[in-house]
Amino acid sequence: MKESNKELFENKQLWEHYDKSGQIREKAEYLLQSIPDSIESIIDVGCGNGIITNEFAKQYQVVGVDTSKEALKFLQCEKIISSSSAIPVDDLSYDMVFSSELLEHLQKDILIKTISEFKRISKRYIFITVPNREFLKKRCIKCPKCNYIFHVDHHLNSFSEEKIIELIGNEFQLLETNYFGWLDKKYNRILLKIKNSIGDIWYVDTREYIVCPDCKNSDFPKKKGNLVSKLCNGLNRLISSKKPYWMYMIFKREDTS
């Protein structure tokens, strides 16, 4: 998969119509209740248009960090335009580093640098949320113009609890892991391959703005299902279970009381 589409994240239309379902606002309320006690300052890395950040800012001293100038226009608190891999703030400068749905978008080298930045900046806590063991191929779509296949949300990584622990390392101790959000139906790998390759049916997304990272095409007409896709979907409903879509993990620096 290619790097996340930079042009997409600078599009005003994306951020204006972001979270039309209200799921992120519900998520913000849930996460707000999970913040550890005695926190005063938070840096939200990869904050997007600040739906969660702005909720946090009602109770805490919050700074939002993102590479998108368009997204940061929606923030109602202090903001920094910066890559997550090199944030211009001092060491140990915030009580908690928070990051929601960022890590899955990052290429491996940027991911490693970003985790290092989290550990450098945090005085006490690192609070991460990511999709829960996401099967990336399930949400892949094919560009009708160039046939390039990509994840509809431009996700490059899938995370388990064990993988996040390995990334964070020994300087921080895991305090809590929680699985939450809507129940997402798994998809059998063999059935998905048949649906994609034989049925030529890919993930159907209802959002208004999608951009191909290869040819920059933004015209994605909704393709109706066929007999193959209907059979695969029906069989999958019978054999596949559901799991909460999101996972959050809270880590505490080892040398703090």
Closest CA to 105 of 138, 134, 72: 134
Order of strands across the sheet with 41-45?
78-81, 61-66, 41-45, 94-100, 122-131, 242-253, 172-185
CATH number at residue 168: 3.40.50.150
pLDDT tens per residue, range 162-201 = 999 999 999 999 999 999 999 999 999 999 999 999 999 9
- Please report the pLDDT score of residue 4 as a whole number: 47
Q: What would the two tokens of residue 55 be?
A: 């909720």
Position 156 in a domain: yes
Neighbouring CB atoms inside 10 A of 96's CB total 25
Q: Is residue 1 part of a domain?
A: no
Q: Answer whether residue 104 is part of any domain.
A: yes
Whole-structure pTM value: 0.91
Stated length of the chain: 257
Asked whether residue 162 is assigned to any structural domain, the reply reads: yes
- Note whether residue 29 is domain-resident: yes
Query: Other CB atoms closer than 10 Å to residue 59's CB: what's the count?
Result: 12
Q: What is the pLDDT of residue 3?
A: 42
* Spatial distance between the Cα atoms of 257 and 251, rounded to a whole number of angstroms: 13
Structural domains in the chain (count):
1
The model's pLDDT over 213-238, given as tens digits with 9 standing for 90+, comes to 899 888 888 888 999 999 999 999 99
Tell me whether residue 186 is in a domain.
yes
In a domain, 239, yes or no: yes
| Consecutive 10-residue averages of pLDDT for the chain (257 residues) | 56 70 87 95 96 96 95 94 97 98 96 98 98 97 94 94 96 96 96 97 80 88 91 97 97 82
40: nearest Cα among 118, 123, 102, 128 = 123
> Would residue 132 count as lying in a domain?
yes
Domain range for 80: 6-253
What is the reported pLDDT for 249?
Answer: 98
Contact at 8 Å (CB) between 248 and 31? yes
